[in-house]
Every structure is written in structure tokens, then in C-alpha cells.
Amino acid sequence: MAEAGERGEACKVRAARGGQRCTVDDRVTRVAWLNRSTILYAGNDKWSIDNRVVILSNTKTQYSIKIHNVDIYDEGPYTCSVQTDNHPKTSRVHLIVQVPPQIVNISSDITVNEGSSVTLMCLAFGRPEPTVTWRHLSGKGQGFASEDEYLEITGITREQSGEYECSAVNDVAVPDVRKVKVTVNYPPYISNAKNTGASVGQKGILQCEASAVPVAEFQWFKEDTSRLANGLEGVRIESKGRLSTLTFFNVSEKDYGNYTCVATNKLGNTNASIILYESDNESP
């Protein structure tokens, strides 16, 4: 709310939070409050049709009004006009309305292919005008990204995927914070595929691990030609997330050899060769 102003001699004006206060003395015979050229109050008589504007005090020492639920349209000059025995006097106060920061428009979550250019937008309002900052919330913590409404990333990499936080700050109230999730698609990359030994009659396990977005689909081949099917020839294929496992429940001589793991998503495919070899150890 706003109160209105103070007077010394005839009138002094002081702006308080939500109002203007005008201090008067015994020489004053008539008083009025104006907003620009519009009369709000003349003495105790209300001229304003705005229900938010009320008289707070009209005494021999103070004449003040209050504005409830102040908004930015209330900002501007207010005048306390007084009539004394000699001549009229006025005092003015300029009401400055502060507005907490608010993010009014922000980019939606986005999915792009690696190497693409990305522009994130975060528009904020407030008085004074808020400072807008972008930060990348990665697994390594918060990384500085940009101090601007627009964050531009040229040739985005998979390491730059994740959440980006926009913060609007103007010190009037707590910052307004919003987040945008950026998903970066990239083709499969096999990061772990090791040759494995197993004894005849024991269990043998081959593992193939691939990073990819979207998650890769796996296929297994024997000697690069024969595709293996789950449940056939005593093998089981299990694929979950980044890992695919080929399990032999009862290894025989014919199972030894070269196997190929193929990882595929919509951006491409890659493969790795893994050898199951005979081992004297009972455990693979």
C-alpha cells in the first residue's frame, strides 16, 4: 500500500511504502492530494473513483492518503496542495513502484541432435529490470552459461545435455527460477566389450556396453554372419539400458569363437568384436 507525504513550512511530502504523507501546520486552511492533474482527495472529500485510494489522516499536523495493492500504473508524481492565509503552496513526491522478478516466457524442453545449434530464451519482467542468468546444471555442478535472456549453443555436444537453469534477479524479492531440459541425441558408442574365457560345461557371459541417446538396441552375431536369437541354441540375450549380455548356460566347443555386438539407434550404429575362448577356470 502507499501513504502520502510531509510538509514543513506549509507542506513537506514524504513517500512511504504504499502511500504518501503530507505534514501540515496551523497556517493551512485547505488541502488536497493530486495524481498529476487528477484530484484524489480535497480535504476529506474523495474525488477519485479508485476504491484502492483512501484517506489515512487529516489532522492539523498531517494529511495523508493510502493506496492499497499498488501496481506499476500507480507510479508517477503525486502533489500535496495546500492553501494558507497568504498563498497556495505545493509539494511533490514521485512514487516508484518496485516489482519482484517474474519469468514470463521461457523455452520448452527440447531434444536436438549432436552438432546442432540451440537457442534458449528466458524473458523476465520486474522493476527495476531484472538480471537474467543461465546456468548449466550438470553432474559436475553448476556451470556458468550466460548472463543474457538468450543462451546460444553452437554445435552442441552430448556433454552439454541436461538441465539449464534461468534465474531472474532484481533484489526486490527472491529470484524467480525456472529450468529447461535439453536432450542431445547421439549415435551409439561401444564403451566396454571384452574378450571372455569360459570352461566347457560351465556358464559363459559376454557383455557389450554402449552409450547412446536414444538408448541403443542390440543384436548379436556369431562369426559376423549368423544372428543369434534369445532362447535358441542354449543362449540368452538380455538388454537393459546401456548393457547387453549374451549368456551361454552350458558352454560347448562349438560356442568358442568370435561374436559381434551391434548397437543401433536412429542416428546410426556401431559394432564390436568379442571372443569367447576356452579357459581352465570354471568361472567366466
Q: What is the pLDDT of residue 181?
A: 96
Measured in Å, how far apart are the chain's first and last C-alpha atoms? 77
| Backbone dihedral angles phi then psi of residue 99, each to the nearest 5 degrees | -125, 130
Q: Mean of the pLDDT values across residues 90-99?
A: 86
The residue with greater pLDDT, 2 or 235, is 235
Partners of 90 in the β-ladder:
81
- Cα→Cα distances 193→36, 147, 197, 264, 268, Å: 79, 43, 13, 15, 19
Domain boundaries, the chain: 20-95, 100-186, 195-278
Q: What number is the average pLDDT over the span 119-131?
A: 94
pLDDT of the residue at 132: 96
Question: 20-95: what CATH class?
Answer: mainly beta
Judged by average pLDDT, the poorest of 44-58, 74-88, 248-262 is 74-88
* Confidence bin at 281 (pLDDT 50/70/90): low
Q: Dihedral, CA atoms, 76, 65, 13, 93, nearest 10 degrees?
A: 0
Equal CATH topology for 20-95 and 195-278: yes
> Cis peptide before 128, with omega less than 30 degrees from 0?
yes
Tell me which of 3.40.50.10490, 3.30.365.10, 3.40.640.10, 2.60.40.10 is the CATH number of domain 100-186: 2.60.40.10
Task: Tell me what pLDDT residue 6 has.
Answer: 34
Contact of 86 with 13, CB cutoff 8 Å: no
Residue 59's pLDDT is 82
Which among 165, 188, 185 is positioned nearest to 239, based on CA atoms?
Answer: 188
Residue 11 pLDDT exceeds 70: no
pLDDT digits (tens, 9 = 90+) for 41-50: 998 898 988 9
Query: Which of the 8 DSSP states describes residue 234?
Result: T
Average pLDDT of the residues of the chain:
86
More confident residue, 141 or 194: 194
pLDDT confidence of residue 21: 63
pLDDT band at 71, cuts 50/70/90? confident
Select the more confidently predicted residue: 75 or 284: 75
Superfamily of domain 195-278: Immunoglobulins (2.60.40.10)
Averaged pLDDT, 200-215: 95
